[in-house]
Amino acid sequence: MGRDTLTECLECGLLQRNPALPPGGTAVCVRCGNVLHRDRPDSLNRTLALTVAGILLFVIANAFPFLAFEMGGQTTYTTLMTGVLDLWEGGNLFIASVVFFTSILAPGLQLVLLLTVLVPLSLGRMPFWLPELFRWVRTLTPWGMTDVFMLGILVSVVKLSEMATILPGAALFAFGILILVLAGAQSALDPDLVWSRVPWMREPVRPPRPGDGHLACDVCKLVIHRDSALWDGRHLRCPRCADVLHGRKPNSIQRTWALLLAAVAFYIPANLLPIMTVTSLGKSQSDTILSGVVFLFENGMWPLAVIVFVASIFVPMLKLLILLTLLLSVQLGSRWSPRERTRLYRITEAIGRWSMVDVYVVTILVALVRLGNLASVQAEAGAIYFCAVVVLTMLAAMSFDPRLIWDGLERKHV
């Protein structure tokens, strides 16, 4: 089965026909430049092989220590779960939950769900539960942050290199390969191919025609006449994947404003308050995000200092400013370069996750440095506020509907 005849760009709302793609080809929206579809040769087999490899690597990465901290004749070992458990026992429940979800649960579930979906498809079967599970794969993808966690490991090792000896474990190498395998699986997966094999729960009334009211599913990208949608008593649902259908994201502006203002409120204490306290040989020192960047600069590690500064200070501020600009431009009916504003929206979605690096650094240091008065690390209030800023800005970007940028222009044109 091929791709659907029609598709709606989920970034500008333009309804257009799907062209036939050559092997490895890409279909791009003619109005905003958003990538609509990619042809991925031998998608199911490649993704299945990478998923199986990813599950094996995931088990190894979680079953064995990935770093060891050696100081004064004492050694501590840490697994991926150690930092989460230490944060939980220390009363930092919010950070522990976020770190567990983004570094362990989301990647693990993504792999398991992919395996559960791809095995029946490779055997030519279509279980009734497949669409629901595949919807969850899409939902979990932005929250899996193994690559950001690896950057946090690198920063942590650099911070501790002068204090003690850091020894890598087998799990660290498995974790590094897992990052590449996950990226490969996501790149090889062709969601359109999967959805094209899912039968409709209800036969279409008729295909949408010019001028008709239509609905586009933001999960499986199915475009249907409004009368072809399923009614569950409360919502219209997609007849293929059963997701709730909306012409635009419900209350997009209000939700984005609420999340943005909350993020701004947390951003100030996140940068003023210390994110952790390091105790070494009985002496304690508290570090804010900025003082951590200064430490890296003073010790000659300026490339790493630049990365941490960009990820932890510049990126959150940039996201707040971009979201503020987008909200104001939509509400004021601005006609300024809608294509450029859509690109700004893509930036907010692409860069937001990298701000988690400092949260991961705190988690890793708390897990590694556990030698009492000799050496220890404790998470502070600044880490909680900063973690909240990262989560809130990601949710705000997900709540904003970029099609609103183009809707205002169309109304003015009419």
Beta strands 236-237 and 276-280 are unpaired
Interval 244-254 mean pLDDT? 90
Joined together, the tokens standing for residue 404 give 């609103």
Q: pLDDT tens-digit profile of 195-212?
A: 888 888 877 766 776 666
- Listed range (207-211, 253-257, 283-287) with the worst mean pLDDT: 207-211
Range 317-322, long-range pairs (CB < 8 A, 24+ positions): 317/267, 318/347, 318/351, 319/348, 319/351, 319/352, 319/355, 319/393, 319/396, 319/397, 320/260, 320/263, 320/264, 320/267, 320/393, 322/347, 322/348
In this structure, is residue 227 part of a structural domain? Answer: no
Given a cut of 50, whether residue 176 has pLDDT beyond it is yes
Given a cut of 60, whether residue 358 has pLDDT beyond it is yes
CB 10 within 8 A of CB 385: no
Interval 179-189 mean pLDDT? 93
Joined together, the tokens standing for residue 41 give 């040769």
State what percent of residues in the chain have pLDDT above 90: 33
Banded pLDDT at 390 (limits 50, 70, 90):
very high
Q: pLDDT tens-digit profile of 31-47?
A: 888 998 888 888 899 99
In this structure, is residue 11 part of a structural domain? Answer: no
Computed from CA positions of residues 113, 116, 120, 125, in that sequence, does the dihedral angle turn out positive or negative? negative
In this structure, is residue 251 part of a structural domain? Answer: yes
**What is the pLDDT at residue 25?**
87
In this structure, is residue 408 part of a structural domain? Answer: yes
Given a cut of 90, whether residue 377 has pLDDT beyond it is no
Given a cut of 90, whether residue 396 has pLDDT beyond it is yes
**Closest by alpha carbon to 342, among 326, 324, 327, 328?**
326
State what percent of residues in the chain have pLDDT above 70: 92
Count of the separate structural domains present in the chain: 1
**What is the pLDDT at residue 51?**
95
**What is the pLDDT at residue 414?**
37
The parent domain of residue 94 ranges over 40-198+241-413
Interval 326-331 mean pLDDT? 92
Interval 303-328 mean pLDDT? 87
In this structure, is residue 7 part of a structural domain? Answer: no
In this structure, is residue 110 part of a structural domain? Answer: yes
**What is the pLDDT at residue 169?**
85
Banded pLDDT at 165 (limits 50, 70, 90):
confident
In this structure, is residue 173 part of a structural domain? Answer: yes
In this structure, is residue 82 part of a structural domain? Answer: yes
Q: Is 203 helix (H, G, I), strand (E, B) or coil?
A: coil
Banded pLDDT at 69 (limits 50, 70, 90):
confident
381: which strand partners? none
Predicted TM-score (pTM) above 0.85: yes
Q: Rounded distance, CA 84 to CA 364, Å? A: 9
Q: Rounded distance, CA 104 to CA 381, Å? A: 23
Please classify residue 305 by burial: count the beta carbons closer than 10 Å to its beta carbon, then call 0-12 exposed, 13-18 middle and 19+ buried.
buried
